[in-house]
Amino acid sequence: MDNLSEALEKLKLASTDSATDSVESCLDCLLKALANNNTEASVKIQEMGILPLLPTLLKPQSSCTPKVANIIAEVAKNEFMRSPCVEAGLIPPLIQLLNSTDQEVLLQTGRALGNICYDSHEGRSAVDLAGGAQIVAEHIKSLYQNTEPENEKLLTVFCGMLMNYSNDNDSLQAQLINMGVIPTLVKLLGIHSHNTALTEMCLIAFGNLAELESSKEQFASTNIAEELVRLFQKQTEHEKKEMIFEVLAPLAENDVIKLQLVEAGLVECLLEVVAQTVDGEREEDIAQLKTASDLMVLLLLGDESMQKLFEGGKGSVFQRVLSWIPSNNHQLQLAGALAIANFARNDGNCIHMVDTGIVQKLLELLDRHVNEGNVTVQHAALSALRNLAIPVVNKSKMLSAGVADVVLKFLQSEMPPVQFKLLGTLRMLIDTQAEAADQLGTNGKLVERLVEWCEAKDHAGVMGESNRLLSALIRHSKSKEVVRTVIQGGGVKHLVTMATSEHMIMQNEALVALGLIAALDLVAAEKDFVGANLVSVLHKLLSDERSAPEIKYNSMILICAVMGSEPLHKEVQSLAFIDVVSKLRAHENKTVSHQASLTEQRLTAQS
C-alpha cells in the first residue's frame, strides 16, 4: 500500500508533465495493486483524487492508453466507483477511444465502459448521451464474420458492454433493437457457436432483448429458431441448456416464432429432455423436466404450431404427449393435460380426441387426484374436459362416459381455480342436453353449492360461472323439478342480480331463466321475486336506453309472465310500466316494437 501511495503521488506529478516512462511505471504499480486487492486499491485511488487526472491520459496515440483504460475497467468492478468514474468525466474520452483501430485499446475501453454501465443508471445515461452504444453496435456489425481468437475476445467484450448498458432498461433495449443489433447478434451466434464465452454473452443479450415485445418481430425475421435449436442439440451441461431455455421461453410467446421453433425441431429436443429426466431425482433433472414440458405446452398455444403437431391426431408428438397423462410424475401429468387442453381448440381436434378415448384417460387422471390431489393437475384436466365438451356431438358421448359424475367429486374443493373450471365444464356439458340438465338441476347438493358460490365476492370468475350454470340448468332442462330445486336452494335472488350484470350475455341468460321460473312455478317463486325486487329491476332495464334489444324483449316477456301474481301485479301498476312500454312501440327493432304492443295490451287489459 505504501508503494501504491507513492505511485499515486508520482502519477499526480507525471500526469501534468506527460513524462510517458514515469507514467507507465506508475500505471503498472496501480494495476499490480488492483490485482492484489481491488477494493482497497480503488478506495485509495478515489481518496487521492486520481480519477479526474485520467481523462488527460486517455489520448488515442499514447502508449499508456490501454493501461489507463484497463485501470478504469478494474476500478469500475466496484459498485461505489461507478458514479465517481462518471463524475470524473471519463465517459467522453473513453467513447472517443472507440474510434481507435488498436485492438488492445478497443478491448480495454469496451471493458471499462461495460463495467461502468453495470447496474449503474449514471453510467448508462452518460454512455447514452455520448452515443457509445451506436459505435459499439457498428463495431460488432463490421467484426462479426471474423473468427480469429483476438477478434472473438473483442466481440465478447462488446456484447457484454451492450448487455450491461441495456439490462433491465426497456428504453435502452428498445434503442438497441432500433439500431438493428438483433439480426447481427443472430448471425454472430451462428458463426461463433464454437466459442463458449461469446455464445453465452449472446444468449444473455438475447434473453434481455426478448423480454421486449418490439423485439419479437425482428427475431422472427432472422433464423434464431434454427440457431438456438442447433446450439441446444450440442449441449450436454444442464447450465448451458438452462441458458438456452431462458431465451426460448420469451421468444416462444410469439406465434410466428412458435411455428419456426416447431419447424426447426425444438419439439424433438424437448421430448428427449423429458425422456432423459423423467425418472431423475437430482434437482437439475426436476428443473429441466419442468422447463421442457412447460415450453412444450407454450408451443401448443399457437394455432399453426399446434395444428402442425396434431397432424390429424396421428402425430408422433401428439401420441407422446398423450402418454404423459397416465404417468406417475405430477409435472408430466400437468403438462399432458394442458397440452390436451391446447390441442382441443377447434371442433375437428376435439371430436377426434373424444372418439379416440382421451376422455377416459383424463377421468382416470382426475380420479387419482380427488383426495389430497394436486390442484394444478385438477385444474388442467378440467380445462381439457371443458374444451373437449364444446362441440355439440361430444356432449352426449362425454356424459355417457361419466364425465359429470367425476367432475362432481370436486364439488367440495376450496380452490377457486378448480371451482371455476368445474363450473365451466358442467356448463359446457349440459348445453342443449335436456336430460343431463334435468339430472344435475335436481341434485340438491350441487344447487346448494352453486348458491353458495354465487356469493363468492372475492372470486368474480367463480361467482359469474355459478350464476351462469344455475341459469343453464333451468334453460336447458325447462323442468318444473329443476325450478323447484333452485327456488328451494335460494337461487332466485342470484338470478335477479345476474340480470343486472354488466355483461349482456349474462343478463340475457338470467332473464330467460327467470322467465321459465315464472312460467313453470310462479306461485313458488312469488316470494323470492318480491324479495329480490324483480319488478323494479325490470323497470330499470326497460328504461335504460343502453339495454340491448334482446334484454328489452326478454324483460317484457317476463313482465307479462309475472302478471299472474297479485303482489307482483301491484308492483307493476305502481311503477307506471305502461309509459315505458308504450315508448318502446316505436323501437327500431321490429321484435322489440311488436312485443311492446303485446305487453301494452296485456298491461291495459289487467289494469
List pLDDT tens digits, range 440-463. Answer: 999 999 999 999 999 888 899 999
Specify whether 457 is located in the same domain as 518.
yes
- How many C-beta atoms surround the C-beta of residue 58 within 10 A? 21
Residue 356 covered by a domain: yes
Residue pair 497/463 in contact by the 8 Å Cβ criterion: no
Q: Distances from the Cα of 391 to the Cαs of 348, 397, 546, in angstroms? A: 9, 11, 33
Work out the mean pLDDT of the chain and round it to a whole number.
92
Residue 11 covered by a domain: no
Which amino acid is residue 561, in one-letter code? A
Coil, strand or helix: which one is 120? coil
pLDDT, residue 19, reads 55
Specify whether 574 is located in the same domain as 500.
no
pLDDT at residue 16 is higher than 70: no
Specify whether 394 is located in the same domain as 442.
no
Residue pair 479/441 in contact by the 8 Å Cβ criterion: yes
Write b or e for each residue in 166-192: b if 16 or more Cβ atoms lie within 10 A of its Cβ, otherwise e.
Answer: bbebeebbbbbbebebbebbbbbbbbb
Residue 459 belongs to what domain range?
433-532
Q: CA–CA separation, 504 vs 492, rounded Å?
A: 19
Decide which of 429, 452, 481 is a domain's last residue. 429
Specify whether 528 is located in the same domain as 539.
no
Cell 361467482, located at residue: 463
Q: CA–CA separation, 333 vs 335, rounded Å?
A: 6
Among 294, 390, 309, residue whose Cα is nearest residue 345: 390
pLDDT at residue 248 is higher than 70: yes
For 206, the grid coordinates are 438475447
Measured over the CA atoms of residue 516, residue 519, residue 520 and residue 526, the dihedral's sign is positive
Specify whether 370 is located in the same domain as 461.
no
pLDDT, residue 30, reads 86
Q: Which range has the worst mean pLDDT, 77-81, 313-317, 590-594?
A: 313-317
Q: CA–CA separation, 342 vs 273, rounded Å?
A: 21
Specify whether 459 is located in the same domain as 386.
no
Which amino acid is residue 52, in one-letter code? P
Specify whether 527 is located in the same domain as 439.
yes
Specify whether 425 is located in the same domain as 438.
no
- Classify residue 37 as left (phi > 0), alpha (psi -120 to 50) or beta: beta
Residue 168 vs residue 518, higher pLDDT = 518
Confidence of residue 5 (pLDDT cuts 50, 70, 90): confident
The stretch 390-402 carries a mean pLDDT of 96
Residue 101 covered by a domain: no
Q: CA–CA separation, 220 vs 240, rounded Å?
A: 23
- How many C-beta atoms surround the C-beta of residue 601 within 10 A? 12
Residue 391 covered by a domain: yes
Residue 340 covered by a domain: yes
pLDDT, residue 224, reads 95
pLDDT, residue 17, reads 58
Decide which of 482, 506, 532 is a domain's last residue. 532
Q: Which range has the worst mean pLDDT, 203-207, 277-281, 464-468, 534-538?
A: 277-281
Q: How many domains does the chain have?
A: 3
Residue 123 covered by a domain: no
Measured over the CA atoms of residue 456, residue 459, residue 460 and residue 462, the dihedral's sign is negative
Specify whether 451 is located in the same domain as 528.
yes
Residue pair 599/556 in contact by the 8 Å Cβ criterion: yes
Specify whether 444 is located in the same domain as 522.
yes
pLDDT, residue 363, reads 96
State the CATH number of the domain containing residue 315: 1.25.10.10
pTM higher than 0.85:
no
Q: CA–CA separation, 188 vs 185, rounded Å?
A: 5
Residue 497 covered by a domain: yes
Residue 351 covered by a domain: yes
Decide which of 482, 500, 532 is a domain's last residue. 532
Which distant-in-sequence residues (6+ apart) come within 8 Å of 474 by Cβ? 441, 482, 483, 486, 513, 516, 517
Specify whether 424 is located in the same domain as 502.
no
Confidence of residue 523 (pLDDT cuts 50, 70, 90): very high
DSSP letter assigned to residue 431: T
Specify whether 485 is located in the same domain as 447.
yes
Q: Would you give the distance in Å from CA 224 to the centre of its chain?
A: 21
Q: CA–CA separation, 433 vs 342, rounded Å?
A: 25
